[in-house]
Amino acid sequence: MEKDKQIWLYDTTLRDGAQREGISLSLEDKLSIAHKLDSMGVSFIEGGWPGANPKDVQFFWKLKEEPLTQAEIVAFCSTRRPHKKASEDKMLQAILSAGTRWVTIFGKSWDLHVTEGLKTTLEENLAMIKDTIEYLQSQGRKVIYDAEHWFDGYKHNPKYALTTLKTAMDAGAQWLVLCDTNGGTLPHEINQIVRDVVDKLNINLEDSSQPQLGIHTHNDSGTAVANALSGVQQGVKMVQGTINGYGERCGNANLCTIIPNLQLKMGYHCVESEELTKLSQTSRSISEIVNEAPDFHAPFVGRSAFAHKGGIHVSAVQKNPLTYEHIAPETIGNVRRIVISDQSGLSNVLAKASSFGIELNKSDPACRQILEKIKELENQGYQFEAAEASFELLMLEALGKRQSRFTLKGFQVHCDILQERMPSQNALATIKVEVNQKEILEVGEGNGPVSALDGALRKALINFYPSIANFHLTNYKVRILDGGAGTSAKTRVLIESSNGVSRWTTLGVSTNILEASYEAIVDAIEYGLILELDPQKVVTCLS
């Protein structure tokens, strides 16, 4: 790969990403994410600000016991305090104690922040940048200088902003990173300003021994990814961002979008091809770790990124994927999905059946029966594009292959509504089912009617199907389909289940929310049992 085509990825999920509202990472979370990023080939991983909190101190020490294989771990800090020697600043001593080879220091580029934020002079800010970088260099550290609020600073006072950058460059920083900290800059502005920096500071983009440029963008204007790509087009060699675009306010540049765009569309090299195939799984795994729902519609890595719903689309994609796919999903570890809905044609049914290992012929009457059944049920409120496990069960039933494992004889649910809420269980369900010609009566308790019903059904079936103990409900969603009907409205229930290896979603529809929930629970258990009997099917329903 040509040197000018190499892009260094700098991930700041563990610091900047963790500033997203609602995200709180434990020490174990941070370690797990760091190793996933390392496995994916990220060049630099910013671990946090040692000294800012005990957790970040522990992270850097713990990582010495569990070292990364190829990525550089980076400590993050600001320039020294005003009117204080860098060598005497305890904040910088904590950075050195982290023991990293690379340190990222951020400094002020915008004169407004110097006078209003730091309450110091423009000259003192330059001294802070110079003294801090030179001190860290003298201690054997390599320095990445993040020019905070660079683009805003340049737009308000270009001469001073350039002087701050020149100061960092002369002090020995290896990287000069231009930050759009407020996220208000647009791509055409990025293009012009980066060109100005290269020209006015005489930066040699071809000489890797000289300081090189990086870019750090935020998404407040919805252009963080576009801004980062614009910077690369003008010679930037380092791109900073986060997995899934996590970050403060509207987030940071999303590396899950930037990496494939750079590597697959623009001809740059970010990671090895086999590492690129880990992108989708890394995105989803980290979303689980930070306890944020994955964005199904995210570019490249989203579950719906290569989903095809319209019958014409499905037919065309099966003939040639290029008709409706801009890249091969496998290159970034994603998969093509055929979605079933009332807009489906026979092509959808055949393709979806094939993905489940069920081979159908277009002339098979079952195809038309399945299609008509789908459209009939979706007219009643069912939505199989969100519940593929229920759709497979529907297909098996149409083909006469759905095994009846038990028969419901009836159930009752009783709820206690207490004036003062107590942390105890307050719902009781009684259920009678027939299994292998034996009637079983069981009672289950729960913190709500659905929990109690689920518990009672499991107790009734566990002796016949012990693997049910491995099934767990991971998500439960309710949607009112016809709000105008008030309390008599029809309800759709979606249940997501897991056996620890794969996930599957089932649904139920009824004017009675408990009946809808029961229908979804039964489908979930039946489908889980199918997976237990045929582990190879796990690949069709991974989250």
Over residues 81-140, the pLDDT tens digits come to 999 999 999 999 999 999 999 999 999 999 999 999 899 999 999 999 999 999 999 999
Helix (H, G, I), strand (E, B) or coil at 45: strand
- Could you please state the CATH topology (level 3) that the domain comprising 407-540 is classified under: Double Stranded RNA Binding Domain (3.30.160)
Please tell me if the domain spanning 3-289 has the same topology as the one spanning 407-540: no
* Residue where the block lists tokens 């060699």: 237
Q: Which of 254, 214, 279 is nearest to 37 (CA)?
A: 279
Are 409 and 429 within 8 A, CB to CB? no
**CA 160, 10, 282, 26 torsion-angle sign:** negative
Give whole-number Cα distances, 210 to 148, 177, 262, in Å: 21, 14, 23
- Which segment of 201-205, 441-445, 495-499 scores lowest on mean pLDDT? 495-499
Question: Rounded to whole angstroms, how far apart are CA atoms 369 and 156?
Answer: 67
State the pLDDT at residue 240: 98
Average pLDDT estimate for 206-220: 93
The model's confidence at residue 2, banded by pLDDT at 50, 70 and 90, is low
Average pLDDT taken over every residue of the chain? 87
State the pLDDT at residue 540: 39
- Which segment of 139-153, 451-465, 496-510 scores lowest on mean pLDDT? 496-510
Sheet holding 438-446, edge to edge: 407-415, 427-435, 438-446
- Which segment of 140-149, 217-226, 370-379 scores lowest on mean pLDDT? 370-379
Question: Rounded to whole angstroms, how far apart are CA atoms 368 and 65?
Answer: 60
Answer with the residue of higher pLDDT: 279 or 512: 279
Are 447 and 427 within 8 A, CB to CB? yes
- Which segment of 134-143, 149-158, 266-275, 318-327 scores lowest on mean pLDDT? 318-327
Answer with the residue of higher pLDDT: 441 or 475: 441
Instruction: Enumerate the β-bridge partners of residue 407.
Output: 434
State the pLDDT at residue 136: 97
DSSP state of 203: -
Q: pLDDT of 246-275, one tens digit each?
A: 999 999 999 999 999 999 999 999 999 999
* Per-domain boundaries in the chain: 3-289, 307-380, 407-540
Q: What are phi and psi of 15, to 5 degrees?
A: -115, -70
The model's confidence at residue 190, banded by pLDDT at 50, 70 and 90, is very high
State the pLDDT at residue 77: 95
DSSP E strands: which ranges in 187-309?
212-217, 238-241, 307-308
Question: Rounded to whole angstroms, how far apart are CA atoms 159 and 153?
Answer: 9
Above 50 in pLDDT, residue 481? yes
* Residue where the block lists tokens 């149409």: 398
Answer with the residue of higher pLDDT: 379 or 329: 329
- Could you please state the CATH topology (level 3) that the domain comprising 3-289 is classified under: TIM Barrel (3.20.20)
Average pLDDT estimate for 291-314: 83
